[in-house]
Amino acid sequence: MKLVFVLYNYFPYGGLQRDFLRIAEACSQRGHHVTALTSAWEGEVPAWLELSLLEVKAMTNHDFNRRFAEQVRHRVAELQADAVVGFNRMAGLDVYFAADPCFAAHTERQGRGWLFRQTPRYRHFIAEEQGLMDSDALILALTREQIDDYQRHYRVAEQRFQLLPPGIARDRAWHEGALAQRQDFRAVNGVMDDERILLMVGSGFRRKGVDRAVAGLGSLPAPLRDKTHLFVVGDDDSASFQRQAQQCGVAERVRFFGGRDDIPGFLFGADLFLHPARSEAAGMVLVEAIVAGLPVLVTAVCGYAHFIEDSGCGEVLSEPFEQSNFNSRLRAVLENDDLRRLYRDAGVAFGVDADVYDMPARVARLIEARAESRSG
């Protein structure tokens, strides 16, 4: 089959981008030809992937997205693909991987009023989402909440949706060699046995709540704060967060690592995973932390927060977010070795049998079925 995969831009360390590439590779391994349509590509291009870069020039983000979608529809018509798989919402897709929340529901939850709904940004995104929902595209949802939101706003039939497992890589799960990886990681980074590492992973630092984590670290009592590090992994501009760390008196305790490929070492080496996000449709890294045996402190807005509750491997902070509550729970978990051990053991046990590992192959089969239904 000839498959077209569509993504605004590709860079190696984004969660959506990783899903994009893993699913595309799964399709290629099943014998299909995959063409990627994107406006930019950072990093190596796999030999099995045909890359088609679209030149898009615009003054604003929404205008860029509009022009990109127009070019995609024109290019797709030329390629005569068996199926078009999109990782950003736009009309004209055969399969939509719904990594983002429903735009209409997100706007509603933010309390945006009449004035915002008159903006070009709103009109563009709502039109693309409406066009996608009005089509017969298969929607690959990451959470049940997404499905409920789309049905509430667009009355989409239940059979249009397929709920996916998180699909994390198996090297994230705790294994016999994980303890040695932990010791090596801490030695390389100069962290003593009696010190604690707080870990955050993900691009989009403000949305992930890095500022909240820095404030939490700064709130700890001096004896605990001076034995605690915050490691942040991901692609984003860290300058404002470094200034905040300086103002909080923890600049020497906060380290930004940029995008990395060696995530298992961070997961095994850390003591507590923080994800005080403002918005997160799913959060695959949360499940990665769980199966790695890393206790999690997360906000309830995250689509995958229920995995923390299901596994008993950490704590979910209720909304609306309160910094004082986050600070209090952060201190309590750091000071209680037995509690962290309990959370770790629960996460490791969850990872043994949980259906969280094989998402790319499952999506590849769904794409094949969708393409076959179109040709039939």
Rg for the chain (alpha carbons), in Å? 21
- In this structure, the answer to whether residues 212 and 342 fall within a common structural domain is yes
Residue that has been written with the tokens 């994800």 in this structure? 275
Same-domain status, 362 and 346 = no
pTM for the predicted model, two decimal places: 0.85
Q: Which two tokens stand for residue 1?
A: 């089959």
The CATH number given to whatever domain includes residue 181 is 3.40.50.2000
**Quick one: angle between helices 15-29 and 284-291, nearest 10?**
80
Centre a 10 Å sphere on the Cβ of residue 218 and count the other Cβ atoms it contains: 19
Same domain, 122 and 262: no
Percent of the chain that is helix, strand, coil (3-state, to 5): 50, 15, 35
Pair 131, 207 in one domain: no
Residues 195 and 285 in one domain: yes
Tell me how many domains the chain contains: 2
Q: According to the model, what pLDDT value does residue 94 have? A: 97
SS3 84: strand
In terms of domains, do 366 and 239 share one? Answer: no
Please check whether residues 17 and 152 belong to one and the same domain: yes
| Dist. CA 36–CA 86, nearest whole Å | 10
Same domain, residue pair 21 and 67:
yes
User: What single-letter amino acid sits at 245?
Assistant: A
> Based on the domain organization, do 181 and 89 belong to the same domain?
no
178 shares a domain with 81: no
Distance of CA 98 to the CA centre of its chain: 11
Assess whether 200 and 114 both reside in one domain. Answer: no
Q: Cβ distance 212 to 224 under 8 Å?
A: no
By C-alpha distance, which of 42, 43, 67, 44 is closest to 55? 67
Range of 232's domain? 170-353
Assess whether 202 and 348 both reside in one domain: yes
Q: Would you write out the chain's pLDDT as a tens digit for each of its 376 residues? A: 999 999 999 998 888 999 999 999 999 999 999 999 999 999 999 999 999 999 999 889 889 999 999 999 999 999 999 999 999 999 999 999 999 899 999 999 888 888 999 999 999 999 999 999 999 999 999 999 999 999 999 999 999 999 999 888 889 999 999 999 999 999 999 999 999 999 999 989 999 999 999 999 999 999 999 999 999 999 899 999 999 999 999 999 999 999 998 999 999 999 999 999 998 988 999 999 999 999 999 999 999 999 999 999 999 999 999 999 999 999 999 999 999 999 999 999 999 989 898 899 999 999 999 999 887 6
